[in-house]
Each structure stands twice: as C-alpha cells, then as structure tokens.
Amino acid sequence: MESLPPRILLVDDDKSVREMLYTILERDGYEVLVSNNGPDAVSIFHRSVRPIDLLVTKYNMPRMSGVELARECSRLGGDVKVLYLSGSNPNEELQTELQTRPCGFLAEPIRGGELLRKTRELLLMESAGHLALIS
C-alpha cells in the first residue's frame, strides 16, 4: 500500500507568492491546500478529512495573523507544526511562538531550496521539539 504524501495548508495573502510557493511544494510531492486568508484557512483546516501535517503561513496578514491562525488550528486539531513566513524580523509574539510550539521561520524573499529544507525539517520533528530561527 502506497503512503499518502504529507499534507500542507499554505496561507498567504499575496497571490504571486502563494502561487510560487504552491508550485515549489507541489512539485516536491506534497499535497498542498491553499488559502489567501486566515478565516478561510481555518475553515479548510476544520473541514479536512485527512490531517494537515504542516501549516505554512505568512505571519502578517489582514483579518487574522499567522499566529492567530496557528492557535485556532491547534484548538481544532491538536498540535500543528507551523512554518511562518515574514518580510520582517520576528516580533516578541512570534519569538515566543517559536520557542513554545513545533514551528520555524523563514524570512522573505523565500528561496525554493530553503522552503523545501525547512518543510522537511518540520515534518520530521517530534511535536515536543522546536526549531531555531532561520532567516
């Protein structure tokens, strides 16, 4: 029996960035679900029949921040691993998040190789661990 590919929920409010990241992840064999905002992503996460293995989300988004999104997804389905993307350095809220949950950080602009490396690291992590910042 063939195993299913890891499932990623990708959330970014910038269409061109979202499409680029989707293409990189999908070509590497991941099943990628896509949203352009936090509230819709929560709905996708909640309706997903199969668990989401990784949430890849922009940190700063209108309507709901990446941290708020991650917390809501965790509330709905346990510990979700998160990769935060941001064009600025992590603020205090994000620094705390990076130390308390299985997650990582990539600074924009995102390079494909870094995205794939960080994605693999997070998917292989134990839920109790955490990763250092990667910029």
Q: Is the pLDDT higher at 130 or at 112?
A: 112
What pLDDT does residue 133 have? 41
Question: Does the pLDDT at position 1 exceed 80?
Answer: no
What pLDDT does residue 95 have? 87
Question: Does the pLDDT at position 67 exceed 80?
Answer: yes
Residue-range domains of the chain with CATH:
7-124 (3.40.50.2300)
User: Which pLDDT tens digit goes with each residue over 18-51?
Assistant: 999 999 999 999 999 999 999 999 999 999 989 9
What pLDDT does residue 38 have? 97
Question: Does the pLDDT at position 16 exceed 90?
Answer: yes
The set of long-range contacts for 101-108, using a CB threshold of 8 Å and a minimum separation of 24, is: 101/70, 101/74, 101/130, 102/126, 102/127, 102/128, 102/129, 102/130, 102/131, 103/70, 103/130, 103/131, 104/131, 104/133, 104/134, 105/133, 105/134, 105/135, 106/134, 106/135, 107/135, 108/17
Report the percent of the chain where pLDDT is more than 90. 74
